[in-house]
Chains A and B, each alone.
Chain A
């Protein structure tokens, strides 16, 4: 342990340096005085005694130096000195330092900001206790291609009671409630849950209590827990709310608690529930009620695979007992149950885009480092005399390298700090702007891991741009000593070669990145070009929700009166209602039956036998401008009690009546059952991309609202003339008035133009495209700066040569061509390597592109043109300077 004691004593000495110096001086003085005294006693003269004492002591200064080195930590001593020197260097050339720091800050800032997204969404543990053991359980109908659908209550109870792999299993049912009692009725998002969810997810009440499992027994469910948010907004943060009653959908619930402010809960929804009420666990024999999402916690030591095996066994048993969703003729729908980790459920879809983004910023960072290395090389050339002197004064190789590394380190430190600042600002902005639902779960946005990442990048940066130029400089440094001007050129040429390599590398990476961005841009254009099957421009939408206790008759009457009223507005061309907004709401995936045809998973041309289903008002197709292909649209005669009619889309016809006349055919949702009449097809309309632009059309069934009313419907208003912001706002006001005139307890919400809804659907794609485009632009800019630097320096170096050429009759054009050719040569190499990289890694963007091939010629061609343009712009400035060289002056310099 003696080395430890030594190290400690040395460290301690660092902090007491001045006192130790003083003590040392005193000790040496007393030594010399004693020696002099003894010499005097031996009879020497004063002068002789002093000289003899010094002689026998040896070199006082030398001893003192040795002692100082021995006392403290010479390494740190030197470091401190180098550090001070580096700061002086920075002050001496502030422009250089600022450039380097800015470039590095951009590189580190971009990387760290994206890393903080990756950290937030992919690395950070979910905010629940034992989060790694939490899983979601979904039912599946594999034969229908349905990978996850919520379970009926009965299935949940069976799974909960019969499994041996989970130590807790909870259910959540999403719901919307009309919250009454306030100035206006308000529709809020809530959940029905089993009481054990709160302990499973570690959610505490700040006031009162959370729900208990007992309250899931029928008859006990009229209690509610509020979220912190709604408690503050709607109830003014009044603690006396506990014990009071609130009205949800016309039913009274007693508030028993308010959740703590830091509670974060989402099973993939973009919002957190405002109100939590008990889920009554009533099993119906048909197993049709309930759409439960099941969350479970694996028993300690039980693997995911084991849980899957057991749950599949249970599922097989359930299917035998209850014949779950068997086709009309006993077909196997492929009933299974899936167990997936909660983390994968919530953020699994973000892995690809986020890693793509992280890869992009890694390239930016490397480009930034290459750029700085190049700048450092030039800067080093200016300091060759200084290095020569240092070498000649006996500075060792290691000592010089250390000095250079410290200088780079100081710059890197400043760049890292600035980069971290950029990242801190950008990452909270990014998390806020990110269209990902999982953002609901995020509390803080920066942490030690992110800080560590930035610091790590700083260290890597020093190694990349600090050490390499240092070594190059040193190699020549020893020779420089002997040289006059001659070696200068040799050395300059050597480092210029290295800079060219760096520029080629930068260009290559920038090109690869720009191609990636181009692929996303082109995909985005393609997505927007997809014909949706209806005309979103000029459509205004809104949601209306009648209290769920209203009867079919009142619902029908309400919507018909409302449509009449708003349809009379001069700004409205046609008004309609529908249960689902295509491409904005998630389409249904319901199995259906066709009369006279056995149920099979797929019809002709692999059209699946499950469909989207909408109940619509008479004017829906006119308002949406969906084209009628055959038969007729709905009319006022398709009313309750008349023949039950249906309109289908072209995909339905193609899949189930190919080559036949579909008019007059019969079908129905689900399996045929007694007492439920078949629907008669009266018309065929064009396909609509109900699942959004990137999803193929499903078979679709439209039924008249008059024959199958619903409490919650969306309104679509085709507006006249310009559907600008003012008329939209005006119409929203009219709509609100019309609703209040019809029934003052009904809330109106989510008023938006259809274009806004579609933009919301494309938000993740847009977000990824914009980020990658920004990175591509940044990369090109950095590469351009690098190219400019190299060409500009080359022009300076070659000024005498250029002067000679001009003196010998070269035209300005020739000179410019000479310079530009060199620049384009470098760019060409970079471009070629970059194209190679893009081709090699093209699989990385595969998940993000749409409607274009993996190797998209327009993108490659566009990037090539862009690259040439950027290169000409970057090299053009020095080329023009070269052409303007005054031959007399240039030659005189030589």
Chain B
């Protein structure tokens, strides 16, 4: 397999975990913010770890580039605030476009997952 083809599966998780598809992490962040409301980076990272039950073994640091990307797209916004135990932290929350985007992204993801599932069943 050539180098170029590998690019499609650009790993965003750490070397230890399974490689993640581009956009997976973004959707996770969006979904987290939708259910939990405004949250700081650490909170989001912990939540994703808990939900995925360590299956992904995410490097917490990698969510920051994802957060930046989402900010730049205008799907989430960041504000400085105070955490539950009185620490200064940046809180991220969904914007209106972000909320609208979740439906779209979810649909996309489900289509990919369904296709993948069909593919795996047929190939067996």
Q: Which residues of A are at the interface with B, using a C-beta cutoff of 8 A?
A: 2, 5-6, 9-10, 23-24, 26-28, 30-31, 33-35, 37-38, 56-60, 62-63, 66-67, 70-71
Contacts and interface: CB of A to CB of B under 8 A. Distances in A.
User: What secondary structure prevails in chain A residues at the interface with B?
Assistant: helix
Nearest to B59: A58
A37 B69 contact: no
B70 to A, nearest CB: 11
Contact of B61 (A2, A10, A62): A62
14 contacts: A6-B73, A9-B71, A24-B64, A26-B88, A27-B41, A27-B89, A30-B42, A31-B41, A34-B40, A34-B87, A57-B60, A63-B64, A67-B64, A70-B68
B45, B60, B61, B89 interface centre (most CB from chain A within 10 Å): B61
Given A28-B64, A30-B42, A37 B85 contact: yes
B25 to A, nearest CB: 13
B65 A67 contact: yes
Nearest to A35: B42
A63 B72 contact: no
A30 B40 contact: yes
Given A30-B89, A33-B87, A70-B69, A58 B62 contact: yes
B68 A31 contact: no
Contacts of B46: 38
Nearest to B89: A30
Contact of A2 (B45, B73, B89, B90): B73
Contacts of A26: 88
B11 interface: no
B73 A63 contact: no
Nearest to B68: A70
B14 interface: yes
A5 B60 contact: no
Contact of B60 (A23, A27, A30, A56): A56
B59 A71 contact: no
Contacts of B87: 30, 33-34
A34 B59 contact: no
B74 interface: yes
Contacts of B85: 37
A24, A31, A63, A66 interface centre (most CB from chain B within 10 Å): A31
Interface in B53-100: 59-62, 64-65, 68-69, 71-74, 83, 85, 87-90
Contacts of A27: 41, 64, 89-90
Contact of A59 (B42, B61, B83): B61
A31 B46 CA distance: 11
A344 B73 CA distance: 57
Interface of B: 14, 40-42, 45-46, 59-62, 64-65, 68-69, 71-74, 83, 85, 87-90
Contacts of A63: 61-62, 64-65
A357 to B, nearest CB: 53
Nearest to A32: B42
Given A31-B41, A58-B62, A5 B74 contact: yes
Given A27-B89, A62-B61, 6 more contacts: A6-B72, A30-B89, A34-B87, A37-B85, A57-B61, A71-B68
Contacts of B69: 70
Given A30-B42, A67-B65, A35 B88 contact: no
B72 A34 contact: no
A890 B124 CA distance: 77
A59 B89 CA distance: 20
Nearest to B13: A58
A396 to B, nearest CB: 14
B30 to A, nearest CB: 14
Which 7 A-B residue pairs are closest in the complex by CB-CB distance?
A58-B59, A63-B61, A58-B61, A34-B42, A31-B42, A30-B89, A57-B60
B45, B62, B72 interface centre (most CB from chain A within 10 Å): B72
A2 B104 CA distance: 15
A2 B87 CA distance: 33
B28 to A, nearest CB: 16
B60 A31 contact: yes
B6 to A, nearest CB: 18
B65 A70 contact: yes
Contacts of A38: 46
A9, A28, A37, A56 interface centre (most CB from chain B within 10 Å): A56
Nearest to A63: B61
Nearest to B71: A9
A33 B72 CA distance: 26
Contact of B14 (A23, A30, A58): A58
B64 A30 contact: no
B118 to A, nearest CB: 31
B46, B68, B69, B89 interface centre (most CB from chain A within 10 Å): B68
Contacts of A62: 61
A57 B40 CA distance: 15
A821 to B, nearest CB: 52
B42 A56 contact: no
Nearest to B45: A31
B109 to A, nearest CB: 18
A59 B65 CA distance: 13
Nearest to A24: B64
A56 B57 CA distance: 9
B61 A34 contact: no
A609 B85 CA distance: 113
B44 to A, nearest CB: 10
